[in-house]
Chains A and B, each alone.
Chain A
Amino acid sequence: MAHGTHAKTLPADLSAPAFVDAWQRRALIIGAVFSIIAVVLAFLGQAQDGLGWMHFLRAWLHGLMMTFGFAVGGLAVLMLQYCSGGKWGLLLRRPLEAMSRTLPLVFLYWIPLAFTQGKLFMWANHGIVDQDFSLGLITREQVEAIDHCIAWKHAMLNPTMFVVVSVLCFLIWGWYTWRLTSLGLKRDSDSPANTPWWIKKMENISGPGLVVYSLTMTAAAIYWVMSLDVTWYSSVYGLLYLVGQGYLVLAFSIIIAIRLAQGEPFKTILRQTEQHDLGKMTFAFVMLNIYLAFAQFLIIWSGNLPEEINWYLDRIHGHWGVIITLDFLFHWLIPFTLLLSRDIKRNKKRLVRVCQWMIFARAFDLFWLIEPNFKDAARNLHFSWGILEYAALPVAMIAFWFAFFCNRLKTRPLVQINDPHTAEILEPEHATA
């Protein structure tokens, strides 16, 4: 461990190291390759069971939810660290800003969803219900229940409201992103004497911002995913996605911080203390994630009501039990047991491995949340070329997103100067309690 009696000094050049360009190139290549695979799979699936392009759309929704998690989750953690303070926040500030500034790409990803509502959502196109019934995928009683729910929820679940609410959410996230990131630059060009004022200013924007975020986030999760099953509802659903975003964003941030530390300026400012702190916080999100997921399950299992329990039965019966068991192992047990270890949290290489695993686990969890909504897959997990879309299209979408993220990362210095934490993070690790 580096040790000196004197504080380190920041390098003169705070811009992103040159290897970020290489990351970007690699991401673009991966994105292109997986896009081709995704299109091939769609054709194969179409030839096999006529659902190839349907699976393409579903996987698109999956990729949208993942990149949306990175972008808007990044914005949320950015606001969180402005409110909470702490040196981990200073460390991650610019990567988080870069994540939140990828929102335009997420909006682009969302646009196809707005035009294909009629293919995905029963409330947007009754033909889906009729077709599922004629194929014998749902019973007469289920059709009645669905029709009842569609009529009951019509004021909220209709194509116009879907677009209005989604665009409104994007505008709100966009405003917060623009406000926080542009003020972040202004703060650095201002005199250090004004820093206390800036800290308050950022806090005052971020505090209410977090409340607004949780509301808009919930709305988006309900419209984009939960409403795929019109009959079901859960009040913890938005929160579940919120915690999932924290889980995803922290894992991603740790990887980025450690990888960026292969070059300046992160080499100077990444200390083991903050790495350990981030590991601990990620551990907390692993706990919170399973806490909410299990709480929702326990409540619905205890109630055992016909309106609610089917959502779980769709996701347990017909071989889905294998997926939910793996999901439990992947996104809770494995990260939980690994992150318990102090050594792993303090080891750069191993912590990166755990975090990469967590990103995969979140994607696996989303697969379990999304695919069984569709009646051809509910209680009937079966292999088709189409289902492999989930392993192709989201990879391509995330790769393109990552390339855009690298581009955003390069546009500004990687360390905020006008912050009292900047001096502290340069001190040797034992200097503060």
Chain B
Amino acid sequence: MPPREGTYGLLAEFETPSDLVRAARQAREDGWRRLDCYSPYPLEEAAEAIGFHRNKVPLITLIGGLMGVAAMFLLETWISTLAYPVNIAGRPLYSWPAFIVPAYEWTILWAGLSAAFGMLALNGLPALYHPLFNAPNFRDGATTDKFFLCLEALDPKFDLIEARKYLEGLDPVSVVEVEY
């Protein structure tokens, strides 16, 4: 893919999470769709404010867990009844209580791995480059104490002059243009 050029978006900086949530909610209400919030810690309300939709990680985790439990339980059943039938203290070959613990462990293991890798697969991490880090205030503050709202240039409503005016109306600390 050739390198993208031009404006990635406009980045507004806010001092407090409340300001960010208020601004994000306003922007969403005013019809902005290609926008994102950045904060040093997870902000449930900010995600809701920009219309965060559900992702498929829970489903992947569930499927992973079910696959784990089925795989281990069937493996143990196969080993104990067909592959190596051994009489242990006169118990039936299919002694399911003994299979529960490994099957449970595999449920957790597979669910955990599915959640971690499913999350990475769906969110595009690890990313080696992101244009927002071109903005010095983002670089310095996004992971410590600053809150950001970015209107992306891909939004059909985006116009450099109009968007800047709009963001400044939301009362931010600063608005900077971010290049690809």
> What residues of chain A have their CB less than 8 Å away from a CB belonging to chain B?
1, 3-5, 294, 297-298, 301-302, 304, 342, 428-431, 433
Interface of A is mostly: helix
In the complex, what residues of B have CB within 8 A of residue A298's CB?
97-98, 100-101
B21 touching A3 by the CB < 8 A rule?
yes
Pick from B40, B45, B89, B97: contact of A429, CB under 8 Å: B45
Is B41 at the interface (CB under 8 A from chain A)? yes
Residues of B within 8 A of A3 (CB): 18, 21-22, 25, 45
Contact call A304/B18, Cβ cutoff below 8 A = no
Known: A1-B48, A3-B45. Is A430-B21 also a contact (CB below 8 A)?
yes
Q: How many residues of B contact A (CB 8 A)?
A: 22
The interface residues of chain B, by DSSP majority, are classed as helix
- B19: interface (CB < 8 Å): yes
A4 vs B45: C-alpha distance when bound (angstroms): 11
B112 within 8 A of A: no
8 A Cβ contacts from B22-75 to A: 22, 25, 40-46, 48, 58
- A271-B1 Cα distance, complex, nearest whole Å: 47
B89 in contact with A304 (CB, 8 Å): yes
Say whether B172 faces chain A, with CB atoms less than 8 Å apart: no
B residues with CB within 8 A of A: 16-19, 21-22, 25, 40-46, 48, 58, 89, 91, 97-98, 100-101
CA distance A297 to B101 in the complex (A): 12
Give Cα distance in the complex from A14 to B41, angstroms: 33
**CB–CB A430/B97 < 8 A:** no
Within 8 Å by CB of A430, from B46, B91, B98, lies B46
Contact with B44, one of A4, A301, A430 (Cβ below 8 angstroms): A430
Contacts of A302 in B (CB 8 A): 97-98
Q: Are A5 and B45 in contact (CB under 8 A)?
A: no
Contact A429 B100 (CB under 8 A): no
When distances are taken between beta carbons in the complex, the residues of chain A under 8 Å from B58 are: 342
Among residues of B, the one whose C-beta sits closest to the C-beta of A276 is: B44
Q: Considering the chains assembled together, what is the distance between the CA atoms of A428 and B22 in angstroms?
A: 12
Shortest A433–chain B CB gap in Å is 4
Is the beta-carbon distance between B41 and A433 smaller than 8 angstroms?
Answer: yes
A429 to B21, CA, bound (A): 11
Complex Cα–Cα for A25 and B58 (A): 44
User: Residue A1 contacts which of B45, B91, B98 (CB distance < 8 angstroms)?
Assistant: B45
Chain B neighbourhood of A304, CB < 8 A: 89, 91
Shortest CB–CB separation between residue A135 and chain B, in angstroms?
Answer: 32
Closest chain A CB from B119 CB (angstroms): 15
> Using Cβ atoms and an 8 Å threshold, which residues of chain A touch B16?
5
User: Bound state CA distance, A429 and B46, in angstroms?
Assistant: 11
Question: How far in angstroms is the closest Cβ of chain B from A237?
Answer: 19
Check B89–A430 contact: CB distance below 8 A: no
